[in-house]
A and B are shown apart, each in its own frame.
Chain A
Amino acid sequence: MKLKLGYTLRNLCGAHVLVAEGIQNVNLDKLYSFNETAAFIWETAEGKEFTIDSLAEALCGKYNVSFEQAKKDVQAMVENWKQHDLVEE
């Protein structure tokens, strides 16, 4: 999987916001607020091919969670991103 082009994760006074930017995106109406974990997973996934397992591994390296739990969390998050058309297969 890959993240769709045309989005930038911005840090705004401590809040994480995903904004539509670049020539792929003229529509600026889209804006997503991310929590700390989502922001970390997004940054890990940015600019490369990824799998649920590769992201879960990174999450385990950052936070003290089991691989099984991390995989579950990543799965749910990526599913959510797919619903918002932020991920392509």
Chain B
Amino acid sequence: MNITTYKVAGHQFQISVPEEHSLNGKLTQYDPFVCQQTEELIFNLIIGKVDIPQQKETVWSNLDATDGQTLMALFQCDNCKVVEMYAKPQDAPFAQLLYTDDFKTTRLQLNTTEKELNKSLWGLNNAMMLIFALATATQNTLMLHASVVMNSNQAFLFHAKSGTGKSTHSQLWIKHIPGTELLNDDNPAVRIWDDGRIIAYGTPWSGKTPCYRNIEVPVGAFVRINRALQNSIERLDVVRAYASLTTSCSGMRWERKLADGLNRSLELVIANIPIYILNCLPDEEAAHVCANEVLK
């Protein structure tokens, strides 16, 4: 086994890959996050054969989703949960994740051939994002679906429904707002520390854009991107801010404990960080309208 320790958003975890597995040496997107283990791990994901219990009850699935998200089903077993991922709803699962509620056991079986490296990575990354979001939900950490830029040592998180243009808006900032850099293009983490700091973190996951930066920046604002015929920005009240943010947080509200954790984090964010909606075109003016408000 090749066991490597990583740290994301201040949480340490391990991935264990068998010697002869095709994923060995291929986890380059995780490389910037390698660290020495100095504290208790939130989990150790072991890749290999997994004994999936026969007795299992479906508790959740998105097999009817059509918006391009990975198709998954969650099963409750006697003393563990199993998440299966599918390329097509009728296919056999290409990845099976088994975990216990305390995350002391987290195992992943990849039903892919050696040649299907991208599919193996797809399974691993989805399993990792899921287990990371679950294991940190109760530790004041949010996994968000957002594109993040940094400017003036502040992070600005652009979130939207898939396909609306959050990455496009980040690119407009990079081009037209001096001093802007991309922090993460799809899956940043945000952690609320006990001393009140609210920090955005790069992660090993960034959608289609390879932007795996181990950087932390204080959160300046959240901005929902909404396509419109002219550019305007509006700060949202508490309820609308919650409605806006909650749909961009990794879901997993299937357990009260996790839902409570997510909610506590969201409440702290909403109480301390301005949340906006940017009605915009995909043009230069949109970046200026947004930057003028959030950087002032």
Report A's interface with B, CB cutoff 8 A: 8, 10, 12-15, 17, 19, 21-23, 25-26, 28-29, 31, 33
Nearest chain A residue, comparing its CB with the CB of B262: A21
11 more CB-based (< 8 A) A-B contacts, given A22-B254, A22-B259, A28-B251: A12-B267, A12-B270, A13-B238, A13-B267, A13-B270, A13-B271, A15-B239, A17-B242, A22-B256, A28-B246, A31-B243
Q: How large is the interface on B (under 10, 10 to 19, 20 to 34, 35 or more residues)?
A: 10 to 19
A46 CB to closest chain B CB (Å) equals 13
Question: B143 CB to closest chain A CB, in angstroms?
Answer: 15
Task: Tell which of A14, A17, A22, A28 touches B247, judged by Cβ atoms closer than 8 Å.
Answer: A28
A34 nearest CB neighbor, chain B only: B239
Take A12-B238, A13-B238, A13-B267 as given contacts and tell me if A19 and B60 are in contact as well, using a CB distance cutoff of 8 Å: no
A12 surroundings in chain B (CB, below 8 A): 238-239, 242, 266-267, 270
Report if B21 contacts A (CB, 8 A). no
CB-CB < 8 A to B238: which residues of A? 12-15
How far, in whole Å, are A14 and B238 apart by their CA atoms in the complex? 9
B192, chain A: closest CB distance, angstroms: 14
Contact between B259 and A8, CB atoms less than 8 A apart? yes
Tell me, rounded to whole Å, the shortest Cβ–Cβ distance linking A20 to chain B: 8
Whole-angstrom CA separation of A62 from B239 in the bound complex? 25
Cβ-defined contact, B253 with A33, below 8 A: no
- Cross-chain pairs A/B with CB under 8 angstroms, 9 sampled: A10-B263, A12-B270, A13-B238, A15-B238, A17-B239, A21-B256, A21-B259, A28-B246, A29-B247
- Take A8-B259, A15-B239 as given contacts and tell me if A23 and B254 are in contact as well, using a CB distance cutoff of 8 Å: yes
Also in contact, A22 and B242, with CB within 8 A (given A10-B263, A13-B270):
no
Q: How far is the CA of A31 from the CA of B267 in the complex (A)?
A: 15
A33 & B239 in contact (Cβ 8 Å cutoff): yes
Q: Taking CB as reference atom, which chain A residue is nearest B58?
A: A23
0/1 per residue, B246-276, Cβ < 8 Å to A?
1100010110100100010011001100000
Interface pair A31/B242, CB less than 8 Å apart: yes
A35 nearest CB across to chain B (Å): 11
Q: Which residue of B lies closest to A14 (CB)?
A: B238
B105 at the interface (CB under 8 A from A): no
Q: Which residues of B contact A29 (CB under 8 A)?
A: 247
Q: Which residues of A contact B256 (CB under 8 A)?
A: 8, 21-22
> Does B229 sit at the interface, judged by CB under 8 A?
no
